[in-house]
Amino acid sequence: MSLRSFLSDVVYSAYGRRLIQQAKGRHPRHIAIMLDGNRRWAREAGFTDVADGHRAGAKKIADFLSWCNEADVEVVTMWLLSTDNLGRAAEELSPLLKIITDVTDELAAPHTPWRLRIVGALDLLPPEVAKALSAAAERTEGRTGMEVNVAVGYGGRQEIADAVRKLLLQHADEGTSIRELAKILDVDHISEHMYTSGQPDPDLIIRTSGEQRLSGFLLWQSAHSEFWFTEAYWPAFRRVDFLRAMRDYAWRHRRFGS
């Protein structure tokens, strides 16, 4: 190791400890993250195949979950593939779906503590992909570790539409008329049918790559979320970036409309 690298490691280590100290006292129960910038990272790194960016991003996921675990986060939601992404060319989409399936299998491996939940419109995915993702999540049932939502084929509007559809079908089966349902319908009825039902809404939503918009991510659940944006592409996202997000979250005063 060169002297320059050694000094850099020392500085970052000291800075990391300072950030941890500054973030003490309050941490998010639920962190949601948009893993953005894989393709741009690949192009700027000189790769001709953007799938190399997706592979580099997939390798970062285990590190990120370990950081969340160390911070006592209870739920993590990771957006890996949107409904809009399903319209990409087959030569890019097919390798990406394979990468997502592989990393989900890795997260469900026997030595990992995570409890997986697949959130998204699985019926929009190729049947073999949907089956593999669901099987991985089933293998983690009964675990007591951090809950990890893997958002694949996910769109916020799609989720709300699916929730309303499930709600209507449930009440139709129970013999409730539309007029009767309209009299009792409230936000809790819809929340009970969202993909993340039973989980706390995200306290903190992180987006990498410099984009500063939600793009349809967790539209329903993000009503009171804090947002943190970083210029770093997802494959280049570091522990120090995570700690900065945690520090900034701890410093914010959440009013919830009051």
Active-site residue, selected from the candidate residues 69, 85, 102, 162: 85
Residue 81's nearest CA partner among 22, 151, 158, 25 is 151
Residue 246's nearest CA partner among 19, 11, 33, 15 is 19
Cα 171-173-176 angle, rounded to 5 deg: 40
Number of H helices, E strands in the chain: 9, 6
Please, are residues 195 and 210 in contact by the beta-carbon 8 Å criterion? no
Tell me, yes or no, if 85 is annotated catalytic: yes
Tell me, yes or no, if 36 is annotated catalytic: yes
Q: Using alpha carbons, list the distances in angstroms from residue 177 to 161, 191, 193.
A: 19, 20, 19
Residue 86's nearest CA partner among 149, 158, 166 is 158
Longest C-alpha distance within the chain, in Å? 74
- Compute the residue count for the chain: 258
Residues 6+ apart with CB under 8 A from 169: none
Question: What strand order describes the sheet that includes 204-207?
Answer: 115-119, 147-154, 75-82, 30-34, 204-207, 226-229
Name the region of 231 (left: φ>0; alpha: ψ -120 to 50; beta: rest): alpha
List residues with catalytic annotation: 36, 85
